[in-house]
Structure 1
Amino acid sequence: MSYKDKKVISIGAVSELTGLSVRKIRYYEERKLVFPERTDGGTRKYSFNDVERLMEIANKIEDGMQTFEIKEAERKALKKEKVRNQMLRGQLNAAFRMRK
């Protein structure tokens, strides 16, 4: 696991790093755009990847996108990636069978 994936940053530190209010960060979590882990005591913990993700979200919002549009665009991108991976897998399988 990369250091960027480790959930170790508090919401206060994320707020300072991103310039986003704690309230806004919690709102993006409610909208299922970011997924912090929770400690046993309920404290949110974020990763450096989450910080980058929040900055991307903030930039998209600043450009006029709505949260539902961000989610929809990401859903479409994941669907395209899945189709691309399936096609690549099929091409590899076809090429491998031809060598036998």
Structure 2
Amino acid sequence: MTIPPTPNLDEDAPVFSIAIAAELAQMHPQTLRQYDRMGLVVPERTSGRVRRYSLVDIAKLREISELSEAGVSLEGILRIVELREEVRGLRKRMRELEHELAEERLERQRVFAAGHGEIVAIARGHRVRARSEVVLWNPRAAARYAAEQDEDED
């Protein structure tokens, strides 16, 4: 049984009661309670302490069911779930760092202009001082010049 995609439902929204979640995951509600106690799938709770499951929780329950059917023990499943969560977190952090690095690289890009016999670095988004200056389009020469400037600054 597959859950049809619902365009307006947040996958993380805790909306399903234990009975509905058990039916969607094709499990007994007592199994879901056991998984909650073990920390395999811990649903959100309402103010009255009633369990509410999300689509993400149901997907995890199905994943656990598949591992169990393959002969993996509950302790093994718990470790697999923990490692998968850790990998998801690390991948998310890696994407964040890659984004930060890309932004930093954009900020550090320099534009080089030549005029009156010298090459000068100008900040991105700034204009050259005189109309007679020419912007260098040779990225290798610009990179060499930037490396020399960085060495001079140190």
Instruction: Let me know the Cα RMSD of the aligned residues.
Output: 3.0
Unmatched segments (≥5 aa) in structure 1: none
Higher RCO (CA < 8 A, seq sep 6+):
1
Letter in 2 for 1:82: L
**1:3 corresponds to 2:7:** no
TM-score (normalised: structure 1): 0.75
Larger radius of gyration: 2
Equivalent residue pairs, number: 100
Name the structure 2 match of 1:24.
31
**1:61 corresponds to 2:62:** no
Q: Deviations over 1:61-83 (max 9, x none)?
A: 11101121122223344269639
Distance 1:45 1:59, change over 3 A: same
- How many percent identity over aligned positions? 27
Unmatched segments (≥5 aa) in structure 2: 1-8, 111-154
TM-score (normalised: structure 2): 0.52
Counterparts of 1:78-93 in structure 2, within 5 Å, are 78=86, 82=90, 89=97
Distance 1:71 1:37, change over 3 A: same
* Richer in strand (by share): 2
* Richer in helix (by share): 1
**1:37 corresponds to 2:44:** yes
2:78 pairs with one of 67, 71, 75? 71
